[in-house]
Structure 1
Amino acid sequence: MHSDTHSHDLPHEPHPDVEAHGWTAGRRGVLTGAAALAAAGIAAPALADDDVELDDLGAGRRRRSQLRLTVLGTTDLHGNVFNWDYFKNAEFDNATHDDIGAAKVATLIKAARKKFRKRGPVMLLDAGDTIQGTPLAYYYARIAPITAGGTHPMAAAMNVMKYDAAALGNHEFNYGIDTLRTYQSQLDFPLLGANVVDPATKLPVFPPYVIKKYRLKSGRRLKVGVLGLVTPGVAIWDKANVEGRMEFPGLVEQAAKFVPEMKKKGCDVVIVSAHSGADTSSSYGDALPYPENAASLVAEQVPDIDAILVGHAHKEIPERFVKNAKTGKDVLLVEPYYWGMRLAVMNLRLEWLGRKKEWKLVKARGHLLNSNTAKENGKVVKAVRAQHDKVVAYVNAPVGTSTQRLEAARAVVEDVPIIDFVNYVQAQAVKAGLTGADAALPVLSIAAPFSRSAVFPQGQVSVRDVAGLYIYDNTLLGVKITGAQLKAYLETSAAYFQKVTGTGPFTLAQVTNAKTTTAPNGIPDYNYDVVAGLDAKLTYDIDISQDASSRIKNLAYGGTAVADGQEFALAVNNYRQSGGGGFPAVKTAPIVYNRQNEIRQLLIDWVIANKTIDPAQFASVDWRLVSGSTQITVS
Structure 2
Amino acid sequence: MSYKLIYAVEWSCAIMAVEEMKLVILETSDIHGNMIPINYANNEKTKNGISKIASIIKEERSSNKNIILIDNGDMLQGTPLTYYYAKVDKRDKNPIIDVLNFLKYDAAVIGNHEFNYGMDILNSSIKQSNFPWISANILNEDTSKPIFGKPYIIKKFQNGLRVGVLGLTTKYIPNWENSDIIKGISFEDVVKTAEKWIGILKEKEKVDLVVVSYHGGFERDLDTGKPTESLTGENQAYELCIKVKGIDVLLTGHQHRFIENKYVNGVLVLQPGNAANAIGRVEVNLKMHNNVWKVIDKKSKLVYCEKRESQVEIENIVKDIEKDTQNWLDKCMGNINGDMTVKDYMNIRTKDNALIEFINKVQMDSASVDISNTALFDNKSTGFPSKVTMRDIVSNYVYPNTLKVIRIKGNDIKEALEKSASYFANYDGKSIKVNPRFTTPKPQHYNYDMWEGIDYEINISKPAGKRITKLDYKGSPLDMKKEYDVVMNNYRAGGGGNYSMFKGKPVIKDIPIDMSELIANYILSRGTINADVDGNWKVVHD
TM-score by length of 1: 0.66
2:34 aligned residue (77, 80, 84): 80
Match of residue 455 from structure 1: 384
The answer to whether structure 1 residue 69 and structure 2 residue 48 are counterparts is no
2:188 aligned residue (238, 242, 249): 249
1:419 aligned residue (339, 347, 356): 356
Look up the equivalent residue of 1:100 and give its one-letter code. Answer: N
SS at match of 1:201: coil
CA distance in 1, matches of 2:528, 2:372: 18
- CA shift in 2, pair 1:593/1:516, >3 Å: farther
Look up the equivalent residue of 1:559 and give its one-letter code. Answer: G
Look up the equivalent residue of 1:170 and give its one-letter code. Answer: N
CA distance in 1, matches of 2:60, 2:162: 21
Correspondence 1:251-270 to 2 at 5 A: 251-263=190-202, 264-270=204-210
Match of residue 200 from structure 1: 142
- CA shift in 2, pair 1:227/1:615, >3 Å: same
The answer to whether structure 1 residue 351 and structure 2 residue 280 are counterparts is no
Flag the structure with larger Rg.
1
Match of residue 375 from structure 1: 309
Whether the 8 Å CA contact 1:166–1:192 is kept in 2: the answer is yes
Deviation at 1:195, TM superposition (A): 1.0
| Two-structure CA RMSD over aligned residues (Å) | 4.6
Match of residue 144 from structure 1: 89
2:324 aligned residue (367, 390, 408): 390
Correspondence 1:11-160 to 2 at 5 A: 64-92=18-46, 99-117=47-65, 121-145=66-90, 149-160=91-102
Deviation at 1:573, TM superposition (A): 11
Deviation at 1:360, TM superposition (A): 1.9
CA distance in 2, matches of 1:624, 1:71: 51
Number of equivalences: 494
Whether the 8 Å CA contact 2:356–2:450 is kept in 1: the answer is no
Correspondence 1:300-315 to 2 at 5 A: 300-315=242-257
- CA shift in 2, pair 1:457/1:573, >3 Å: farther
SS at match of 2:179: helix
Deviation at 1:271, TM superposition (A): 1.2
Deviations 1:450-481 (A, max 9, x none): 789633436xx311222455589999999985
- CA shift in 2, pair 1:468/1:135, >3 Å: closer
Deviation at 1:312, TM superposition (A): 0.9
Look up the equivalent residue of 2:314 and give its one-letter code. Answer: V
- CA shift in 2, pair 1:567/1:63, >3 Å: farther
Match of residue 501 from structure 1: none
CA distance in 1, matches of 2:268, 2:381: 45
The answer to whether structure 1 residue 516 and structure 2 residue 431 are counterparts is yes
Whether the 8 Å CA contact 1:89–1:392 is kept in 2: the answer is no
Unaligned runs of 5+ in 2: 1-9, 221-226, 435-444, 508-512
CA distance in 1, matches of 2:277, 2:320: 23
CA distance in 2, matches of 1:626, 1:180: 42
CA distance in 2, matches of 1:269, 1:495: 45
Look up the equivalent residue of 2:154 and give its one-letter code. Answer: I
The answer to whether structure 1 residue 592 and structure 2 residue 503 are counterparts is yes
The answer to whether structure 1 residue 169 and structure 2 residue 111 are counterparts is yes
CA distance in 2, matches of 1:183, 1:563: 49
CA distance in 2, matches of 1:625, 1:227: 49
- CA shift in 2, pair 1:222/1:516, >3 Å: same
Match of residue 267 from structure 2: 331
Match of residue 407 from structure 1: 340
- CA shift in 2, pair 1:201/1:556, >3 Å: same
The answer to whether structure 1 residue 211 and structure 2 residue 159 are counterparts is no
CA distance in 2, matches of 1:468, 1:443: 25
SS at match of 2:306: helix
Match of residue 509 from structure 1: none
Whether the 8 Å CA contact 1:223–1:268 is kept in 2: the answer is yes
Deviations 1:9-44 (A, max 9, x none): xxxxxxxxxxxxxxxxxxxxxxxxxxxxxxxxxxxx
Match of residue 438 from structure 2: none
SS at match of 1:274: strand
CA distance in 1, matches of 2:329, 2:58: 32
SS at match of 1:332: strand
2:518 aligned residue (571, 590, 606): 606
Look up the equivalent residue of 2:295 and give its one-letter code. Answer: L
CA distance in 2, matches of 1:124, 1:491: 43
Whether the 8 Å CA contact 1:445–1:571 is kept in 2: the answer is yes
Match of residue 502 from structure 1: none
- CA shift in 2, pair 1:76/1:515, >3 Å: same
Deviations 1:54-77 (A, max 9, x none): xx9x96976741111111111011
Match of residue 273 from structure 1: 213
Match of residue 373 from structure 2: 445
Which of structures 1 and 2 has the larger relative contact order (alpha carbons within 8 angstroms, sep 6+)?
A: 2
Whether the 8 Å CA contact 1:71–1:122 is kept in 2: the answer is yes
1:225 aligned residue (136, 151, 164): 164
CA distance in 2, matches of 1:453, 1:342: 26
Deviation at 1:294, TM superposition (A): 1.4
CA distance in 1, matches of 2:306, 2:215: 24
Deviations 1:278-327 (A, max 9, x none): 335798865xxxx111122223222222111111111011122122xxxx
Bigger mean CA deviation after superposition, 235-244 or 127-136: 235-244
Deviation at 1:194, TM superposition (A): 0.8
- CA shift in 2, pair 1:370/1:448, >3 Å: closer
- CA shift in 2, pair 1:128/1:591, >3 Å: same
Unaligned runs of 5+ in 1: 1-55, 93-98, 324-329, 433-440, 499-513, 520-525, 580-585, 596-600, 628-635
Deviation at 1:374, TM superposition (A): 0.8
CA distance in 1, matches of 2:382, 2:60: 43
CA distance in 1, matches of 2:527, 2:152: 51
Whether the 8 Å CA contact 1:483–1:565 is kept in 2: the answer is no
CA distance in 1, matches of 2:126, 2:286: 33
Correspondence 1:279-318 to 2 at 5 A: 279=219, 286=232, 291-318=233-260
Q: Percent identity?
A: 26
Deviations 1:235-259 (A, max 9, x none): 2322434443211101111112212
